[in-house]
Chains A and B, each alone.
Chain A
Amino acid sequence: MAVLLLAEVNNGELAMDATAKAVTAAKALGDVTVLAAGASAAAAGEAAAKIDGVSKVLVAEDPSLGHRLAESTAALIVSLADDYEHIVAPATTDAKNVMPRVAALLDVMVISDASGVVDANTFERPIYAGNAVQTVKSSDAKKVVTFRTSTFDAAGEGGSASVETVSAADNPGLSEWVEDKVAESDRPELTSAGVVVSGGRGVGSEEDFALIEKLADKLGAAVGASRAAVDSGYAPNDWQVGQTGKVVAPDLYIAVGISGAIQHLAGMKDSKIIVAINKDEEAPIFQVADFGLVADLFEAVPALTEKL
């Protein structure tokens, strides 16, 4: 049984953490072939070949595959699909864009955001913003699955898979890239950071979000935000943690001024240790926190930043 895994490739570089976590999930299904696709993807393919459990790497380089455009990437995957029973990817925004398109072209359902593998046909996935977990069994001949990376550990390095090149499929020419606006930051990437410090509506303003950022920088952490903070304009959307944002599971998650709406909890409740700082002792965030501190964040956060 063979698995084709679409690697997460950004501007020619392999996103190791997301890809290696998906490899862990995919290994349970069979022999893993990684597909690295992009305008340049050779280096990403070489990096993927070193992930433990990868038996083969396919590299597809073509200008039409740059910027992860869905139409050309889906056409490439479908051209390779005959040899595989599973076609999988980490559940990044890129894969969520491409994989349902692949599934429909193959006339199969997609299984999005799988958080567990029961057997080769059966997967667990969160529904209703993580308020329920559903186990689904596919009757399709091919399974197209994206894996929620926060629930799988990254596969180690030390593999030495063979690398082959494959050609791109015909470009349907339906879309073109215009520009990327990527937030420049020296901080770790939110979904793979070991520590995340997030702020909510309680932070009160964009200026006061500096308190959150200072604590994060002291801890070498990524900065997150609740949807309420994003909607209020205190923080950019790519910081959003929750059902409609990113799902994270760091070793330490510090929630500051976040009440703990279900949609936020869905994005962080798998964190190993959760700290909540909120002045409202009734806030639901305390129900999931390992350590709760009922305090005014404008006093507690600077004090914490100083003492850590």
Chain B
Amino acid sequence: MKVLVPVKRVIDYNVKVRVKADGSGVDLANVKMSMNPFDEIAVEEAIRLKEAGKADEIVVVSIGVKQSQETLRTALAMGADRAILVVAAEDVHTDIEPLAVAKILAKVVEEEKPDIVLAGKQAIDNDMNATGQMLAALLGWSQGTFASELNIEGDNAVVTREVDGGLQTIKVSMPTIVTVDLRLNEPRYASLPNIMKAKKKPLDEKTAADYGVDTAPRLEIVKTEEPAARAAGIIVGSVDELVEKLKEAGAV
């Protein structure tokens, strides 16, 4: 079984996000960038499938700026076999929309013919939560989103999904797209020897044009602003005072 894992280079989740004063977006110049945390979980799951003897090849793909090859090297160091970089932007501030990403991924899938695509459920930059579902739509494949458990059973994948009321388990026919949620696994760190080895693993470089996909955005970003701040509150001295304040405010 072959596994394809798309990974995205995003602002590191520990970095405080700063909105640019001119309202044009979030400042990403000289900011630490990392692999999207949900994508790390997808890479980890693919490696576990391989370790369990269920997968024999893991291909990682990233679509974005050239620097995304660092993200791919991280995935290779974790244990992926091969990487494809699709350069689709020059400026680190250009975010390729999920629809265009899904269209490029659909072409990659046509070439690579994976049995399963494992993707993060959302990227922590645009929080769109769309690429996996869109790719499934374009390929006419099944989808198992927000997975907290994944089992491959013959020609099917059994996916337990994190849904509003609790958990839902579905059986989807392969090939399929599974998007992963936080509790699926805890990703490993790449060891130093593996980081060194990853430098020798194959990394193909392509462009969006190679796949004939138009990446022009459908959504124009009119402006990006800081969220409205809450007015400062007060510190109360005791439980009694808290109860009194809540009663005054009509909250209890």
* Chain A positions near chain B (C-beta within 8 angstroms): 10, 67, 69-71, 74, 92-94, 96-105, 107-113, 122, 125-140, 172-183, 191, 219, 227, 231, 236-238, 243-244, 246, 251-252, 262, 269, 272-275, 281, 286-295, 300, 303-304, 307-308
Contact A251 B165 (CB under 8 A): no
- Interface residue tally for chain B (C-beta within 8 Å): 77
Contact of B219 among A97, A137, A291, A295 (CB under 8 A): A137
Q: A291-B246, A304-B242, A304-B243 are known contacts; what are 5 more A-B pairs with Cβ within 8 Å?
A: A128-B124, A128-B125, A137-B222, A175-B172, A292-B233
Q: For A132, what are the chain B residues with a Cβ–Cβ distance below 8 Å?
A: 17, 19, 26, 224-227
Contact of A100 among B26, B133, B217, B243 (CB under 8 A): B133
Q: For A236, what are the chain B residues with a Cβ–Cβ distance below 8 Å?
A: 166
In the assembled complex, 22 residue pairs joining A and B whose CB atoms fall closer than 8 Å, in A order, are A10-B165, A93-B161, A104-B99, A104-B134, A110-B99, A111-B219, A127-B125, A131-B26, A134-B221, A134-B225, A135-B222, A135-B223, A136-B219, A138-B219, A140-B218, A181-B166, A269-B230, A274-B233, A290-B249, A293-B236, A293-B242, A300-B239
B245 at the interface (CB under 8 A from A): yes
Question: A93 vs B133: C-alpha distance in the bound complex, in angstroms?
Answer: 12
Contact A172 B140 (CB under 8 A): yes
Q: For B133, what are the chain A residues with a Cβ–Cβ distance below 8 Å?
A: 70, 97-101, 104
How many contacts A-B (CB < 8 Å)? 248
Question: A174 vs B144: C-alpha distance in the bound complex, in angstroms?
Answer: 10
* Chain B positions near chain A (C-beta within 8 angstroms): 11, 16-17, 19, 26, 97-99, 102, 124-138, 140-146, 148, 158, 161-173, 176, 181-183, 217-227, 230, 232-236, 238-240, 242-243, 245-246, 249, 251-252
Contact B99 A109 (CB under 8 A): yes
Q: Name the residue of chain B whose CB is nearest to the CB of A97.
A: B145
What distance in Å separates the Cβ of A79 from its nearest Cβ neighbour in chain B? 14
Contact A109 B242 (CB under 8 A): no
Question: A243 vs B138: C-alpha distance in the bound complex, in angstroms?
Answer: 27
Q: For B217, what are the chain A residues with a Cβ–Cβ distance below 8 Å?
A: 109
Contact A101 B134 (CB under 8 A): yes
Contact B164 A105 (CB under 8 A): no
Question: A70 vs B135: C-alpha distance in the bound complex, in angstroms?
Answer: 13
Contact A178 B158 (CB under 8 A): yes
Q: For A304, what are the chain B residues with a Cβ–Cβ distance below 8 Å?
A: 239, 242-243
Of all A-B residue pairs in the complex, the 7 with the closest CB atoms, nearest first, are A174-B142, A104-B134, A104-B137, A100-B133, A100-B130, A290-B233, A131-B17
Question: A182 vs B135: C-alpha distance in the bound complex, in angstroms?
Answer: 29
Contact B170 A175 (CB under 8 A): yes
Contact of B17 among A67, A125, A128, A294 (CB under 8 A): A128
Question: A274 vs B169: C-alpha distance in the bound complex, in angstroms?
Answer: 35
What distance in Å separates the Cβ of B241 from its nearest Cβ neighbour in chain A? 8
Q: A132-B19, A134-B223 are in contact. Are A74 and B235 (CB under 8 A)?
A: no
Q: For B223, what are the chain A residues with a Cβ–Cβ distance below 8 Å?
A: 134-135
Contact A289 B99 (CB under 8 A): no
Q: For A133, what are the chain B residues with a Cβ–Cβ distance below 8 Å?
A: 224-227
Contact B220 A137 (CB under 8 A): yes
Q: Name the residue of chain B whose CB is nearest to the CB of A130.
A: B227
Contact of B134 among A93, A94, A103, A174 (CB under 8 A): A103
What distance in Å separates the Cβ of B32 from its nearest Cβ neighbour in chain A? 14
Contact B97 A109 (CB under 8 A): yes
Q: For A94, what are the chain B residues with a Cβ–Cβ distance below 8 Å?
A: 163-164
Contact B163 A101 (CB under 8 A): no
What distance in Å separates the Cβ of B202 from its nearest Cβ neighbour in chain A? 30
Contact of B169 among A178, A231, A287 (CB under 8 A): A178
Q: For B243, what are the chain A residues with a Cβ–Cβ distance below 8 Å?
A: 304, 307-308
Q: A67-B168, A139-B220 are in contact. Are A291 and B134 (CB under 8 A)?
A: no
What distance in Å separates the Cβ of B211 from its nearest Cβ neighbour in chain A? 16
Q: A238-B164, A304-B242 are in contact. Are A139 and B127 (CB under 8 A)?
A: no
Question: A71 vs B158: C-alpha distance in the bound complex, in angstroms?
Answer: 16
Contact B220 A70 (CB under 8 A): no
Q: For A252, what are the chain B residues with a Cβ–Cβ distance below 8 Å?
A: 246, 251-252
What distance in Å separates the Cβ of B48 from its nearest Cβ neighbour in chain A? 19
Q: For B218, what are the chain A residues with a Cβ–Cβ distance below 8 Å?
A: 108-109, 138-140
Contact B142 A175 (CB under 8 A): yes
Q: Name the residue of chain B whose CB is nearest to the CB of A174.
A: B142
Q: For B220, what are the chain A residues with a Cβ–Cβ distance below 8 Å?
A: 136-139
Question: A89 vs B76: C-alpha distance in the bound complex, in angstroms?
Answer: 39
Q: A274-B233, A292-B235 are in contact. Are A97 and B143 (CB under 8 A)?
A: yes
